[in-house]
């Protein structure tokens, strides 16, 4: 009985997929606590954080991606699985440290710092994982394989977040034992990946280092001190952006597109936790259903079809279509905000209208996230070659972190200044992003959706995965 669906995986990829699948099942529990909106819900409900602290908590997971450029530079010429193990272990340790967070006025800030530290290591894992996928899975079915792994991760994330939300509703201080248990689960997932092999890595390292060997493996690349220096990191990034105009324009389009989602990322948490479901027990259950569970369910439903379309259409066209979904989500979020903010004019049905609009917002958001999880992890590979895939990923993810550092806080500021009109600003940025993606698509070469290692090869029908 083929319960893993290995027969639908290319033969040479089955061994690695088998072990990575087990890892991703356990790691989904960890991801549920450090990514998404759950950390900001904990700040709002358990630590009674201010709107500013909620916006910081909402921005922190993505803002920490700014260090991906450093991770990408460090990974070049080094054993990927070793770095991945180090990063995932660091994430689990930081998660376990939440048990020591005091139940005090400054506890919320300390919690945010702990989540930032966990995300620092998680960003390294994300950067390396992309390189592992490039080495281990063929490009014509890579999106579909990644989609299956992302579905497995999303399932465990969905179940774990739902259960943990119930525990928090029963006892908001249960974080003292929940986070260490999740950290142990994550470490089990790290152990599952140790038998994985990185295809072609030895030959690639020999080419990069001239075949010289030292004790414990191949000769290390440039010194760690140089790798972590700002001049080396920026020089590598600037060199890539100068030589690859298509990737540079893609990054510009992505920066504009990021405003659409991130501008209302903290605003929606504030509205749901402090206006929509205020006074309903501890509010964990309902807030989590609206902000996490509904999007994750739709993300699961959309991921398989999204992966197939991604492999067929390429990242640029895919991103343009995806932005239409984000615009629909933003529109319904705006309608929900207007409804809950005008209870006196609308009457008792305002609450139901608002809940319905935010539910539709979460549905469209989940559909977009389903495809986004594929495109975000693999999109840069459509421009990179084997030798510089980590640098491309570092640039792409670091720019994600750069915009996440200030856009959610800007959104909270605009929410305080212009109210519901912040949704109009988000809509406008989405329209501009669609224009940029369409212009980039028109300027692409016929086979530009195929990644750097296979440019010039005619696209073929993807193998079902």
Q: How confident is the model at residue 225 (pLDDT cuts 50, 70, 90)?
A: very low
pLDDT (tens digit per residue) in 105-140: 788 899 999 999 999 999 888 888 877 887 888 877
Q: What is the 3-state secondary structure of 77-140?
A: CCCHHHHHHHHHHHHHHHHHHHHHCCCCCCHHHHHHHHHHHHHHHHHHHHHHHHHHHHHHCCHH
d(Cα 101, Cα 18) in Å, to the nearest integer?
Answer: 37
Write the pLDDT tens digit of every residue in 344-394.
Answer: 888 888 889 999 999 999 999 999 988 787 787 778 777 876 566 667 877
pTM, rounded to two decimals = 0.69
Instruction: Measure CA 459 to chain center.
Output: 28
Distance, CA of 310 to chain centre:
17
Helix (H, G, I), strand (E, B), or coil: what is residue 406?
helix
CB contact at 8 A, 404 and 55: no
d(CA 3, CA 59): 38
Q: How big is the CA angle at 63 (ends 183 and 426), to the nearest 5 degrees?
A: 125
pLDDT at 7 over 90: no
Question: Domains of the chain by range and CATH?
Answer: 11-193+232-452 (1.20.1250.20)
For residue 452, the model assigns a pLDDT of 47
Burial of residue 137, with CB atoms counted within 10 A of its CB: 0-12 exposed, 13-18 middle, 19 or more buried: buried
> According to the model, what pLDDT value does residue 184 have?
95
- CA dihedral sign of residues 40, 45, 51, 52: negative
The mean per-residue pLDDT over the stretch 302-331 comes to: 88
> Any idea which residue has 């609206």 for tokens?
290
Q: What is the pLDDT of residue 219?
A: 37
Provide the token pair at 436.
């940029």
Do 86 and 415 meet the contact criterion of CB atoms below 8 Å apart?
A: no
Q: Which residue has the higher pLDDT, 389 or 424?
A: 424
Residue 204 pLDDT grade (very low, low, confident, very high; cuts 50, 70, 90):
low
Report the C-alpha gap between 463 and 446 in whole angstroms: 21
DSSP collapsed to 3 states, 236-302: HHHHHHHHCHHHHHHHHHHHHHHHHHHCCHHHHHHHHHHHHCCCCCCCHHHHHHHHHHHHHHHHHHH
């Amino acid at each position: 009985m083929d319960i893993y669906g290995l027969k639908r995986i290319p033969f040479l990829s089955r061994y690695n997929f088998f072990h990575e699948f087990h890892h991703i099942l356990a790691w989904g529990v960890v991801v549920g606590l450090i990514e998404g909106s759950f950390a900001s819900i904990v700040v709002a409900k358990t630590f009674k954080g201010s709107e500013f602290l909620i916006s910081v908590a909402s921005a922190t997971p993505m803002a920490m991606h700014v260090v991906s450029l450093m991770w990408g530079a460090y990974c070049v010429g080094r054993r990927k699985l070793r770095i991945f193990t180090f990063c995932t272990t660091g994430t689990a340790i930081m998660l376990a440290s939440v048990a020591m967070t005091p139940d005090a006025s400054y506890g919320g800030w300390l919690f945010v710092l702990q989540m930032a530290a966990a995300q620092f290591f998680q960003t390294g894992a994300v950067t390396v994982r992309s390189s592992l996928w490039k080495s281990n899975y063929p490009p014509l079915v890579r999106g579909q394989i990644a989609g299956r792994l992302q579905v497995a991760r999303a399932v465990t994330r969905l179940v774990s977040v739902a259960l943990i939300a119930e525990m928090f509703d029963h006892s908001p201080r249960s974080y003292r034992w929940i986070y260490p248990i999740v950290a142990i689960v994550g470490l089990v997932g790290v152990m599952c990946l140790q038998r994985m092999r990185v295809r072609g890595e030895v030959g690639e390292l020999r080419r990069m280092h001239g075949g010289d060997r030292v004790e414990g493996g191949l000769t290390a690349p440039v010194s760690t001190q140089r790798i972590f220096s700002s001049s080396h990191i920026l020089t590598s990034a600037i060199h890539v952006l100068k030589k690859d105009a298509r990737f540079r324009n893609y990054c510009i389009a992505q920066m504009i597109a990021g405003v659409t989602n991130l501008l209302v990322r903290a605003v929606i948490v504030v509205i749901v936790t402090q206006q929509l479901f205020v006074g309903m027990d501890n509010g964990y259950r309902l807030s989590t259903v609206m902000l996490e569970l509904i999007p994750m369910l739709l993300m699961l439903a959309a991921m398989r079809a999204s992966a197939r379309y991604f492999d067929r259409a390429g990242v640029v066209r895919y991103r343009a279509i995806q932005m239409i979904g984000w615009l629909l989500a933003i529109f319904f979020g705006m309608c929900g905000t207007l409804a809950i903010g005008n209870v006196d004019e609308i009457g008792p049905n305002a609450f139901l209208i608002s809940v319905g609009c935010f539910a539709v917002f979460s549905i469209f958001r989940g559909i977009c996230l389903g495809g986004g999880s594929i495109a975000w992890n693999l999109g840069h590979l459509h421009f990179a070659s084997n030798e510089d895939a980590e640098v491309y990923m570092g640039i792409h993810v670091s720019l994600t972190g750069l915009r996440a550092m200030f856009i959610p806080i800007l959104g909270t500021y605009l929410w305080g200044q212009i109210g519901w009109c912040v949704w109009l600003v988000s809509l406008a940025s989405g329209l501009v992003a669609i224009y940029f993606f369409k212009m980039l698509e028109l300027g692409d070469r016929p086979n530009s959706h195929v990644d750097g290692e296979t440019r010039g090869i005619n696209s073929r029908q993807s193998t079902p995965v």
